[in-house]
Amino acid sequence: MLALRADLLDFTATPAWGGSAMDGVRLRPDHWLLVGDDGRIVGAQREDPGPDWQRHDHRGRLLMPGFIDTHVHCPQIEVMASYGTGLLDWLATYTFPAEARYADADVAREGAARFVDALLAHGTTAAVAFPTVHAGATEALFEAATRRGMRLVTGKVLMDRHAPPALRDDVSAAERDCEALIQRWHGRGRNAYAVTPRFAVTSTPGQLAMAGALCRRHPGVYMQTHVAETEEEVRRVAELFPHARSYLDVYREHGLLHARAVLAHGIWLDAEDRALLHDSGAQIAHCPGSNTFLGSGLFDWQAAVDAAHHVSLGSDVGGGTSLCMLRTLAEACKVQALRGTRLPAWVALHAATLGAATGLGLEGEMGHLGEGALADVVVWDWAVGSVAEHRDAAARGALPGLPAQPLHARVYAWMMLGDERNVAAAYVAGEQRFARAPTA
C-alpha cells in the first residue's frame, strides 16, 4: 500500500471553454493519495495515513494523472527537429528512411524501450502510438509497454502505395499480420490494438476496405490515422479519391469512423466533417507542436467545441519537437492565441487527461484520481529554475506588494513555463517507473 503526498489536481467533468471558472476542477492541496496493492486508487485524505503505508512525501509539489499522448510515433525520435520542409516532403526525406531501419529486430527493440522510457520521463503514462509497418516492431512496442505496465494502444502501420518499397505491404499479407497481432496483443494486460492506416495517401481503397473490415470483425479494437493536416495533403487526397465529399469522408466510406477512432490533426475540416465526428464519437488528436513546426495550420478548437466532438492532445513526435505534454499544451495555447481566442489551462489539462481517457472509453481505468482508477500519476515541481520560481512566487502571493493570484493563474504559468525538467516522479499502476536523479 502506497501513499503519495502532494497537491492533488484532477478533473471530475469537462471545464467550460470560455473562462477560468473552476467547474469540473478538483484541487486537494497537501493531501495523501492512497493506492492499494492492486495499483488502484482507494482514496485521498489530509491526515497522515500511518505506518502501514509506504509513504512518498512530495509535499509542495503538484500531483496529476499522468498525461495521455493520443498521437505519437515511436520510430520518429530519430527525426525530431529535421530542418526545412512541409509534411509530404518531410515524410519522404526524413521519416520513411528512419522508419525503414525498424525492419531490424535490435533497432526495433531498442527503439521501443527508449521510446516508452522517454514517455515516462516526460510525464506521459499512456499513449496511442504509431510504430512502423513492421509486425516485429509492433510486437517490440507492445512488449516494452507491457514490461512497464503502461496502457498502450498501437498497431502495425498499413501502407500499400506512395511509400518506399521497403515500407510497403499488400492487402492480404497486412491482413494476416493484423489478425495475428490482434489475437496476440489486443486485451492482453493494458494493451489494445489499433488498426492503423497511416493516411489516405498511402493506402489503396482496397487496403482501407480491409482495415474497415478488421474494425467490424473485432469491435473492441481502435483505429488511428491522420486527417486533414495540411492543405497540400488535402489536395492530394482529393486527387486520389475524386468521388469523395471530403478527406474525412474517405475514412467513413471505408468503415473507419467510429467511437474508437483517433484521427490526428483535423485542421482542414468543414462543418459537415465536424458533425460526422460528433455523430461517430471519433476523436481528433490535436497536435499543436507538430502543426507549428511543420507549418501545417491552426486548429480551430472553438469549432470542435461547438460541434461537440472529442478533442485530445498528441505530441506527434517527430513532427512535434517535444514528447512533453506541457510543452504541447503551451503550443496549443499559442495556436489559439493566433486564432484570436484563449485556451484556459483547465480545458487544456482536462483534454490531456480525463478528456483523452473518456474519448478512448477508458475513464474507468485512468485519466483521474478518483477511487478505482489505476494510479497512473505524475509528480511535478511547480517551478524549476530561478525565473520560473520567481513567477510561481508571484502567483502564490509570496512577493510583497503583489496579491496572491487565483489557482488558474498559478496552474497556467506552470503549464506554460514547465517541461520535462519539472517531472519529479512517474508512477504506473502504483509502481514508481521514473524518478528524477537527485542533483548534487
Contact residues: Zn ion, CB under 5 A: 264, 316
Beta carbon of residue 352, minimum distance to Zn ion (angstroms, whole number)? 17
Q: How many CB atoms lie within 10 A of CB 240?
A: 18
Residue 30's H or E segment, with its range, is strand 25-35
Residues 218-237 that bind ligand GUN (CB under 6 A): 226, 229
Coil, helix or strand at residue 298: coil
Q: Would you count residue 151 as binding ligand GUN (CB under 6 A)? A: no
Beta carbon of residue 433, minimum distance to Zn ion (angstroms, whole number)? 25
Q: 26 or 101, CB closer to ligand GUN?
A: 101
> Residue with the closest Cβ to Zn ion?
316
Q: Would you count residue 290 as binding ligand GUN (CB under 6 A)? A: yes
Beta carbon of residue 179, minimum distance to ligand GUN (angstroms, whole number)? 24
CA pair distance 10, 45, nearest whole angstrom? 15
Beta carbon of residue 100, minimum distance to Zn ion (angstroms, whole number)? 17
Q: Would you count residue 67 as binding ligand GUN (CB under 6 A)? A: no
Helix axes 135-148, 171-185, angle to 10 degrees: 20
Beta carbon of residue 351, minimum distance to ligand GUN (angstroms, whole number)? 19
For the record, the C-alpha cell of 156 comes out as 502495425
- My answer on whether omega of the bond before 318 falls inside 30° of 0, hence cis, is yes
Q: 20 or 203, CB closer to Zn ion?
A: 203
Residue from the set 87, 194, 329, 413 that interacts with ligand GUN by CB under 6 A: 87
Cα dist from 295 to 116, 311, 335, 374, whole Å: 27, 20, 11, 38
Q: 221 or 264, CB closer to Zn ion?
A: 264
Residue from the set 65, 212, 319, 430 that interacts with ligand GUN by CB under 6 A: 319
Residue from the set 73, 148, 190, 327 that interacts with ligand GUN by CB under 6 A: 73
Question: By the 8 A CB rule, do 63 and 29 touch?
Answer: no
| Residue 166 neighbours by CB under 8 Å, 6+ apart | 100, 103
CA pair distance 331, 325, nearest whole angstrom? 10
Q: Would you count residue 128 as binding ligand GUN (CB under 6 A)? A: no
Beta carbon of residue 349, minimum distance to ligand GUN (angstroms, whole number)? 23
CA pair distance 397, 417, nearest whole angstrom? 18
Q: Would you count residue 138 as binding ligand GUN (CB under 6 A)? A: no
Binding partner at 375 among ligand GUN, Zn ion, none, C-beta below 5 to 8 Å by kind: none
Beta carbon of residue 22, minimum distance to ligand GUN (angstroms, whole number)? 35
Q: 70 or 422, CB closer to Zn ion?
A: 70
The site for ligand GUN, by CB under 6 A, has a size of 11
Beta carbon of residue 85, minimum distance to ligand GUN (angstroms, whole number)? 12
Cα dist from 312 to 176, 206, 347, 355, 409, whole Å: 31, 30, 10, 6, 22
Binding partner at 154 among ligand GUN, Zn ion, none, C-beta below 5 to 8 Å by kind: none
CA pair distance 324, 353, nearest whole angstrom? 14
Q: 99 or 316, CB closer to Zn ion?
A: 316
Rg of the chain over Cα atoms, rounded to whole angstroms, equals 21
CA pair distance 214, 371, nearest whole angstrom? 35
Q: Would you count residue 137 as binding ligand GUN (CB under 6 A)? A: no
Q: How many CB atoms lie within 10 A of CB 372?
A: 11
Q: 96 or 414, CB closer to ligand GUN?
A: 96
Q: Would you count residue 91 as binding ligand GUN (CB under 6 A)? A: yes
* Stretch near ligand GUN under the rule CB under 6 A, chosen from 53-61, 87-95, 329-337, 429-437: 87-95
Beta carbon of residue 111, minimum distance to ligand GUN (angstroms, whole number)? 15
In this structure, is the dihedral angle defined by the CA atoms of residues 40, 46, 49 and 54, taken in order, positive or negative?
A: positive
Cα dist from 364 to 128, 358, 385, whole Å: 17, 8, 37
For the record, the C-alpha cell of 141 comes out as 512496442
Binding partner at 258 among ligand GUN, Zn ion, none, C-beta below 5 to 8 Å by kind: none
DSSP bridge partners of 194: 222
Binding partner at 199 among ligand GUN, Zn ion, none, C-beta below 5 to 8 Å by kind: ligand GUN
Coil, helix or strand at residue 12: coil
Beta carbon of residue 95, minimum distance to ligand GUN (angstroms, whole number)? 5
CA pair distance 202, 437, nearest whole angstrom? 43
For the record, the C-alpha cell of 232 comes out as 497540400
Q: 131 or 418, CB closer to Zn ion?
A: 131
Which residues form the interface with ligand GUN (CB under 6 A)? 73, 87, 91, 95, 198-199, 226, 229, 290, 316, 319
